[in-house]
Amino acid sequence: MKPDQATDKLPRRNFLAQTGLAATGLGIGAVGLSAALQAGESEDKTAPEWPWPYKELDVELVRKRGHKYYYEGGCMYGSSGGLLSVLIDEIGYPYATFPHDMMRYGGGGIAGWGTVCGSLNGACAIITLVSGKAYGKITNELMAWYGTTPFPSDKANHYATNHDYLVEKYKTDAVLPTTVSGSPLCHVSVNTWCREAGFASGSPQRAERCARLTGDVAAKAAELLNANLRGELVTGEFEKSECMSCHFMGENYDSGQFILGKGTKCTECHGEDPHLGSDRKRECGS
């Protein structure tokens, strides 16, 4: 085992290997176990107030854990687990009581329906849990970043080829092609990659691509949360869309404000001219 792998070992009692409090769906480290037991002995059974406490996280450890938990439960389970496991290491209670198995539903864009990417779904859930009313600007930045970023990242490919991830047996350790989805949807993200990379959706290469992507998204979430904690979060860097100059939530129907949604590559789903085939054949702003 390499030195950095030794320090990146999962929390004691094998995080997520059991269920219940020493088993709530999360195996927990020494700090987390102590805090969890104290919580269990407390007469006060109310849940902690929102948001839950946060400490700056090791971004690369989150990336590796996210990849690991993808192998155990898919993309939503992976990104949330990457963040949760490190929060348990750093803080313990109340994170050791979080029922992490509930995050399994988001795999494949929610039960395989190809909607929002599960890695985003899981990361945004944890962002909201820890950031309070700041969740909107952080989740917005993560969603916009996803649509403009090549996946898997160069760092993710490097970890795989050097066997620096935390799995014993890789689906593949090869350098994988990268693509930019232009969309937060699983359907678009996966299909774009499969078509350009030449691998089927059920291939080990596609699964490994999504595992690496999951770690990348969890790491970006940790990076944004760390910046927010330090008061250094910069937003709006990635959010760009010509369509949004007309089509945004507003009260003027005739100018195009009849939709709800955001996107960086609207034509991916709507075609080169999304107005054709409707009774709204007009230029934006007319």
pLDDT at 256: 73
pTM of the model: 0.78
pLDDT tens, position by position, 147-157: 999 999 999 99
38-73 residue pLDDT tens? 444 444 567 789 999 999 999 999 999 999 999 999
Instruction: Return the DSSP state at 9.
Output: P
Res 236: pLDDT: 82
pLDDT at 14: 45
Residue numbers in the chain where pLDDT is lower than 70: 1-45, 237-249, 257-286
pLDDT for res 23 = 36
**What's the pLDDT at 46?**
76
CB 30 within 8 A of CB 12: yes
pLDDT at 267: 56
Instruction: Report pLDDT for 252.
Output: 75
Buried b (16+ CB within 10 A) or exposed e, 208-234: bbbbbbbbbbbbbbbbbbbbbbeeebe
